[in-house]
Amino acid sequence: MKISLFLSLLLPIMAASAQPPASLVPTTPSTASDYYCTWNLQGYVCSYGAGAGSNDLRLEINEDNLFGCQLGYKVWGHEQAKTTQTSGQPPCEVTWIVPSRYQGWLSHYPMLHADLTFVLDDSWDIPHGPGPDGASKRPHGRNYDNEHLATMAIAPDRFPSFQGDDLQRMTQLVKAVKEQGWRSLGGWVCAQNPIGLTHEYTGLENTYENSLRWTTEQEERFWKRRLGESQRAGFNYWKVDWGNKDRDEQFRRRLSQWGREVAPEVVIEHASFQDGGTHHPDFISFSQTIRSYDVNNQIAQAQTLQRLYDLGQQPDAEREGWGIINCEDEAYIAAGLGCAIGVMRHPYVGALPDGQPDIYFADCGPGSRQLKNRLNETVRAVRWHRIAQPFGHKRDQWRADSMTLQESGNGKSWQAPARMSRRMPLPVITGDGASVPDRPYVLASLYDNECVAVAIINRNINGHYQQQHVDVSAQPLRWDRKVGIFGHCRSLTLNYQGGLPAGAFTVYAQDLATDEPPTAIPYTLTPDGRGIILQVADLEALCQGHDYPYTEVEREVGKDYTDQSDPAVVLLIVKDEQQTTSPVFNNNY
């Protein structure tokens, strides 16, 4: 029987090619403003103390937690029964204990060190204590009157192995972090003028009230000094947050301006969370990066998406390439909408050290999302940024569905647009999936180099993470650019706006978490011959068996743990006539 042309278009095609190309993921590390932040590590190791705002979290920033046994076992821990007093140590109470198995944070994400900045969160510049000058002066972290806040100087008693003046200590610490393979070091910066340096810069007594009286010229002298030191030391990321100037637009704008003048290599991130989840309406316009801010992990995806939508409606960034949004730990949302990633999930899976569930990572029993069981999602999204970099904000490049979908759990709920895109048409859920009540969010973005990412974000509904497989269609611009596909779906149709290449071609795909050579995968042509239809099961199979490389300590903590990440692959079309014994293609996109 003669098969019609139409039917032949629907038959799976597997081109017989010679040798597959090399890895579709470049070996050159990403230069995106992605980072790994210590805040949830600080919370985990102390079982979050009296709550997420507890001062206990702030006590955990020290060299032993970062480096583990590499610099000795000088710790300020919670196991005093095991300690013996030492002498000849720095001028603060230091004890020696059996090293905690939760130390060695710099060993996390070994395959991403060169792609990420390691960011120290709150209190790295506040002496550990005890006494009126220590971190203990911040009960629950809600007051601004610690004299060391915003001093931007490595606290000597937290990092006693690093000696000298402020610049020397910072330079030494940055060097030690880079020696572990990380791209750089950064830190949390309190948005206020330091009380303890008020007399030096104003001549007034060091009081909280006087710290509010700094002139703009005095501010400029201090902050330019610290920015210059950061640049010289290689302390290249400032996570500006909280403080009595948190919502002071003019202060934040000046800080960004001073950074451009004296420390162009230092990335200054702004953020401001207000009631209802909105942001200061104009921070994004002058921000190099802006963080969408903390979320409740039961409804994290909906909260993040709604905040991204809100930020997308704000005025354009004033400088080309600025206004990059950091959507924190939602790695696949970041990929799907051209955002940077502030990694918060960590490899200490399971319950907190005190035995309680780690609800801060939605670890709420069977069926919950359990983010710490999804570390390869971070790996895949960060490695995608080796292919395509996050891009800046322009309001007219955002598109969003008028329909919203809801996430819910633990008595909370949040809504966000069902579909969103940047620089390209909205993706579409086709067929019967469009009417499924628990259908996923769908995202798509066109990057600067014309690569495209499509993300399918399944939802948390009543505390249960859904795995709804639907048919999705998106419209990449060019067939010769890579496409990143993040998450679960049943099929994906790629309708190329510029059409497909003439003649035979092969579609290659690869798990973004690996450097293994890509695999030729089957596809069918769309009826008009301008696109391809992929059965995503063929793509998801590429991601099976690739576990996150846990250390022995982390496996002990997690016991019988295997990664449960949603899949993510990169694919590329290669014309067969281009192929010889070793097909050649451009790995820059």
Contact 193, 214 (CB under 8 A): yes
Candidates 25, 27, 19, 28; CA nearest to 574 is: 19
Q: What is the structure's pLDDT at 130?
A: 57
Res 405: pLDDT: 96
Is 177 a residue whose pLDDT tops 90? yes
**What percentage of the chain carries pLDDT values higher than 70?**
81
The token duo for 165 is 């003046």
**Residues 479/496, Cβ–Cβ less than 8 Å:** yes
pLDDT at 513: 95
Whether the Cβ atoms of residue 130 and residue 110 lie closer than 8 Å to each other:
no
pLDDT at 540 over 60: yes
The one-letter amino acid at 485? I
Residue 406, pLDDT score: 94
Q: Are 448 and 426 in contact (CB under 8 A)?
A: no
Could you give the CA distance from residue 332 to residue 566 in angstroms, rounded to a whole number? Answer: 9
Strands (E), 398-461: 398-400, 404-409, 412-417, 419-422, 428-430, 441-446, 452-457, 460-461
Confidence of residue 435 (pLDDT cuts 50, 70, 90): confident
Q: Report the alpha-carbon distance of residue 226 to residue 95 in Å, rounded.
A: 32
Query: What pLDDT, on a 0 to 100 scale, did the predictor assign at position 427?
Result: 98
pLDDT at 259: 98
Q: What is the mean pLDDT of the chain?
A: 86
pLDDT, residue 587, reads 60
pLDDT class of 449 with cuts at 50, 70, 90: very high
Indicate the SS3 state at residue 110: helix
> What is the side-by-side strand order in the sheet with 531-535?
428-430, 471-474, 491-495, 531-535, 524-525
Band the pLDDT of 589: cuts 50, 70, 90. Answer: low
List the beta strands (DSSP E) in 475-575: 483-486, 491-495, 505-511, 519-520, 524-525, 531-535, 568-575
Condensed to tens digits (0 to 9), the pLDDT of residues 132-162 reads: 444 544 433 446 788 999 999 999 999 999 9
Question: Is it the case that residue 556 has pLDDT exceeding 70?
Answer: no
Answer whether residue 85 shows pLDDT above 60: no
Please give the Cα distance from 300 to 336 (Å, whole number). 15
| pLDDT of residue 54 exceeding 90 | no
Share of the chain above pLDDT 90, in %: 67
Between 417 and 88, name the one with better pLDDT. 417
In this predicted structure, the answer to whether residue 318 has a pLDDT above a threshold of 50 is: yes
pLDDT for 361-380, tens place per residue? 866 667 888 888 899 999 99
For the segment 302-325, the average pLDDT, to the nearest whole number, is: 95
Lowest mean pLDDT among 79-83, 127-131, 523-527: 79-83
Mean pLDDT of 70-76: 40
List, in sequence order, every residue forming a beta bridge with 347; answer none if it has no partner.
none
Q: What is the pLDDT of residue 545?
A: 78
pLDDT band at 433 (very low <50, low <70, confident <90, very high): confident
Contact status, residue 574 vs residue 583, Cβ threshold 8 Å: yes
3-class DSSP assignment, residue 473 = strand
Q: Residue 582: pLDDT above 60? A: no
ω before 130 within 30° of 0 (cis)? yes
What are residue 13's DSSP bridge partners? 523
pTM comes to: 0.90
Predicted confidence (pLDDT) per residue in 228-284, tens digit: 999 999 999 999 999 999 989 999 999 999 999 999 999 999 996 665 555 566 799
Look up residue 245 and give its two tokens. Answer: 């100037």
Query: pLDDT digit string (tens) for 513-532?
Result: 999 999 999 999 999 999 99
Mode of pairing for the β-strands spanning 483-486 and 452-457? parallel
Q: Give yes or no for residue 436 having a pLDDT over 80.
A: yes
Count CA atoms within 13 Å of residue 223 on its CB side.
28
**Quick one: pLDDT band at residue 555, thresholds 50, 70, 90?**
low
As a whole number of angstroms, the distance between CA 377 and CA 552 comes to 21
Distance, in Å, from the CA atom of 275 to the CA atom of 414, rounded to the nearest integer, reads 14
Least confident span in 13-27, 154-168, 416-430: 13-27
Task: Between 49 and 200, name the one with better pLDDT.
Answer: 200
pLDDT tens digits along 271-284: 966 655 555 667 99
